[in-house]
Structure 1
């Protein structure tokens, strides 16, 4: 056995540039994207906060700067190629080449195949999967040039299993995110680029108040309680539970982790019923 002590957990991201697609919040509070941005900044990263909602992105940036961190607001739609090209050009001009891409984009609507139009399916696919392609196309050359980088894509347990109500377009596109990231990891592992998917379960974010909760109850607190009872750990997760998993994958602590899914669901997907 070597006399040298084992290495400390290398979670520091000082000097690295993290581009977060979806760094705002759909409503006031802590979304996964916002919590991830703040967590990356706390680890020393320079964070590019990209979102369609300028005010929400600016709020995330302000939270980071209030703690002494480094952040820059970028406003645009990552499902539109021209916007993505502009956003990444602005990010590089402000902070330099991208080290970490965090793709945190997801829209959907309830309904199965008979309730989902072809136009709606195409719109949801463009937002959830097409935007991942566009962002990877911009971030990957920076990573390949330095033979180092990490891609973190946010999927959902809905992309792994049926979640109790029809959510076809969202579920299918989030399953595609998993496979996209697996393929990316395999193709570029030899060039030093890692790619992993984080799979959140039932997470208590501002989004559930306007969308998911109505599947359980008209009363938000009753809906929260009903969702929590589904989880073996007895509660919904928080945005921070997911953000901390993302921060691990972005760091050198996950240097030997690529092409896999980190499920953050309190044991939900392991249940029999």
Structure 2
């Protein structure tokens, strides 16, 4: 049985400078948690830290490119040295890419897989090493509906990476259930984040065309809008806290009914 965690709990969130990661950091802060805000954009991460403190939590920023595995391990070890343990890891850093397979090259493929899969894999490894010593913990990976159904076109590398995250989650859940380490993932569909806006800006330079495409994206989900980052964050917090103590190995869609349809 896992010993009671000392209060406040320690949470690590990657990709926490904006969007789902920022909303997740703030949601954990509302529970009084201490949050490591890990992101390669340190300036935006500082903005997240201010929101975390305003919400009643605390923490610090760690500039981090999750594809630098040596620095990823160092970031994990630093938190454990500072806080004694990591109670919750949220692997949220991600990279989109919409390129058909005949057009993608090896470097582009690696760029997607390195962030979405490889970094998630090794962050889990480094944190699980410490959770085994501490007596348990919770990991929540941000996968995607595209890891459950290939519902949007021209995204083979992204779909492959997120499908792998779903099955990695299940494999780790089975491997570490007896050690009281729960591993789950959320599977958002379209979420109205700065990443979506940045991606659309690269694909559709014309403002009117970009606005039209974004309106079409809102209409894809049965609820007739994209999810908000806060809606996805609430699912992550549920999976990362004792409210879901009997739940492990789950891929939870937060998708406005997209997979159901």
When the two structures are superposed, what TM-score results if normalisation uses the length of structure 1?
0.88
User: Which residue of 1 is the match for residue 245 of structure 2?
Assistant: 255
Choose the corresponding residue for 2:198, options 204, 207, 210: 210
Structure 1 alignment gaps of length 5 or more: 1-11, 26-30
Give the Cα–Cα distance (whole angstroms) in 2 for the partners of residues 269 and 71 of structure 1.
36
**Relative to structure 2, which stretch is displaced further, 32-41 or 70-79?**
70-79
* 1:124-183 C-alpha deviation (Å, 9 max, x unpaired): 111111101221122112211232211100011122222332011111101111011110
* 1:180-215 C-alpha deviation (Å, 9 max, x unpaired): 111000000011010001000111111111214747
When the two structures are superposed, what TM-score results if normalisation uses the length of structure 2?
0.91
1:81 lines up with 2:74 in the alignment: no
> Is this contact kept in 2: 1:75–1:87, CA < 8 A?
no
> Is this contact kept in 2: 1:101–1:151, CA < 8 A?
yes
> Is this contact kept in 2: 1:49–1:71, CA < 8 A?
yes
Q: Secondary structure, in 3 states, of the residue corresponding to 1:49?
A: strand
**Relative to structure 2, which stretch is displaced further, 237-246 or 16-25?**
16-25
User: Which residue of 2 is the match for residue 21 of structure 1?
Assistant: 14
1:71 lines up with 2:64 in the alignment: no
Q: Secondary structure, in 3 states, of the residue corresponding to 1:241?
A: helix
Question: What does residue range 163-202 of structure 1 map to in structure 2 within 5 Å?
Answer: 163-202=151-190
Root mean square deviation of aligned Cα:
1.9
Q: Secondary structure, in 3 states, of the residue corresponding to 2:259?
A: helix
Q: Secondary structure, in 3 states, of the residue corresponding to 1:270?
A: coil
* Count of paired positions: 254
Shift of 1:14: 4.6
1:268 lines up with 2:261 in the alignment: no
Q: Secondary structure, in 3 states, of the residue corresponding to 1:269?
A: coil
Shift of 1:120: 1.4
